[in-house]
Amino acid sequence: MLIRSLIALLAVFFLAIPAVTDAQLRTDKRLQEKVSIDVKDKPTEEFLRELGEKYKIPVDLDPSIPDVAPGPITLTADGITLGSVIHLACESQFLVATMEKGRLAVMSREKDELNLVVRDYPLAQLGPGIDPQTLSVGLTEMTSGFWKDVDGEGGEIAAINPQTFRIRQTRFVHAELQSVFDLITAANGRPRPPTVQERSEQALLKKLNTPSQFSAEETPLPELLEQLLRKNGIPYWIDATGLSDEGLNLLIMNSKFAASKKLSTAMRLDAIATQHQLSWTVADELVQITSAAKADETMINRLYDVRRANVPAAALAEQIVRNKELGKWMIVDEEGGSILPLGTGLLIRQNAKAHAKIAKLLN
């Protein structure tokens, strides 16, 4: 997938947070330690257990993990935080990881759906102009989980008072909810300090925007990625499962670059992605490479300030969902993204390709 405006997106929408990063994985001091990881084809439960032993974090692994994880872990990265390593490993294996009472709890998403937890979300910090009723409906559209009021099963939202939501949901969906609340809070002038992970990703984006030069010879893709990324201090991870699901094999792919000094690393990655039906993005402090098909299915939440549009947010939202070039939408196509007007902003859940087009349109 072509992501030409990734650098601009992150510069303008610094508030975008990985949708499923758990708040406690961001803040627990033990998980802020920078680590070096080099594992290949290691069973998931063994990998997580060894991490816990090495970094003195008690790990509670659900017994069903060996039966539900799609495959072993392969990951090589230097200088990323332990929290990002855990999140990436679990996300790639369709697992959910949370810190609970000082212990790392890891379970399958199926098990997570059977054990809903309750958390309170204060509304005062979201700032003025946020209607609780509108927000409560919108939250069900901005997450991947099931909701009792919408689907007849799953989680539910109950307003304790005008300033608080009490939400019962899976741990996975709570992570998505927390990212939405963080986006709205920051957009209303009350941003939290950037985490270690977010600062690392900002530095990574600067490196990606730096021009890089290569010979014009055709090169095997694995070798090319080593030259382009790791040798320039840019850690990366290849989603083997996502590629395999689409019948893609990097080992037999080749690419050829023009010997230009003006092309940035990001632009070269765009060219590789377009040529081979791949996609790349920055998350968990490294470049993640997967199939274009999987990227199209991966929804990301971003909040856009639309005051400069001189059009009411609701009217602008309607224009966007009617524009076929901006992707599919649940309200129109019964699949795809969702959009929620919030005061002078638009909270949009869409894939990275659609967000790139939307950002260009709104800028």
DSSP 113: H
- Is residue 315 scored above 80 in pLDDT? yes
Going by the DSSP 8-state scheme, the letter that residue 290 receives in this structure is: E
Q: What is d(CA 48, CA 39) in angstroms, rounded to the nearest whole number?
A: 11
Q: What number of other Cβ atoms are within 10 A of residue 228's Cβ?
A: 23
Residue 3 pLDDT greater than 50, yes or no: no
DSSP 254: E
d(Cα 341, Cα 135) in Å, to the nearest integer? 9
Specify the amino acid at residue 222.
P
Q: What is the DSSP string of 46-94?
A: HHHHHHHHHTT--EEE-TTHHHH--S-EEEEEEEEEHHHHHHHHHHHTT
Q: Specify the CATH number of the domain 197-295.
A: 3.55.50.30
pLDDT tens readout for residues 39-73: 989 998 999 999 999 999 999 999 988 888 878 88
Q: What is the residue whose two structure tokens read 């010997």?
A: 259
Closest CA to 41 of 76, 1, 13: 76
Q: Is the pLDDT of residue 206 over 90?
A: yes
Q: H or E stretch including 201?
A: helix 196-208
The model's pTM is 0.83
What distance in Å separates the CA atoms of residue 8 and residue 19, rounded to the nearest whole number? 19
pLDDT above 50 (res 5): no
Percent of the chain residues past pLDDT 90, beyond the cut: 51
Is it true that 18-113 and 197-295 share their CATH fold?
A: yes
Question: pLDDT digits over 108-131, tens only?
Answer: 999 999 989 999 999 888 877 788
Out of 3.30.40.230, 3.30.450.30, 1.20.1630.10, 3.55.50.30, select the CATH number for domain 18-113: 3.55.50.30
Residue 212 has a pLDDT of 76
* Contact between residue 350 and residue 362 where contact means Cβ atoms under 8 Å apart: no
Q: Where in the chain are the domains?
A: 18-113, 197-295, 299-363
Q: How far apart are CA 181 and CA 5, in angstroms?
A: 25
